[in-house]
Amino acid sequence: MTRCLAWDIPKSHIGYWINTRFMGNGYMLEAVKGLCELGLNHMNFKRVEIRCESTNLKSRSIPEKLGFELEGILKNEDLSADGSKLTDTCIYAKV
């Protein structure tokens, strides 16, 4: 029997995109940190996951600064932001 209830495994995914004029101010780091605290400490999630393009070093720095573990890299998994090529996707998680 397969169980499909959304709360069988209490986990969450965080995705983010910021307007370039606001980059470098720490806004996204602060927002993701707050979401992680809410999910792990108040909603009792057992896993929070972040996926991002492997070549986007600024995006990757957020989970790395917040102590997420790089669990793997999916090769040719998605299209680049401009849709011109296949890219690899990094999977970070905090449990």
Q: What are the tens digits of pLDDT across the range 32-78?
A: 999 999 999 999 999 999 999 999 999 999 999 999 999 999 999 99
Rounded to 10 deg, the angle between the 27-37 and 57-65 helix axes is 40
**Which one is the CATH code of 11-94: 3.40.50.10890, 3.40.50.11540, 3.40.630.30, 3.30.420.40?**
3.40.630.30
For tokens 């806004």, the residue is: 27
Encoded tokens for 39: 């999910």
**Opening angle at CA 75, ends 77 and 4, nearest 5:** 50
Instruction: Give the ranges where 1-95 is alpha helix by DSSP (H).
Output: 27-37, 57-65
Instruction: Write down the mean pLDDT value for the chain.
Output: 91
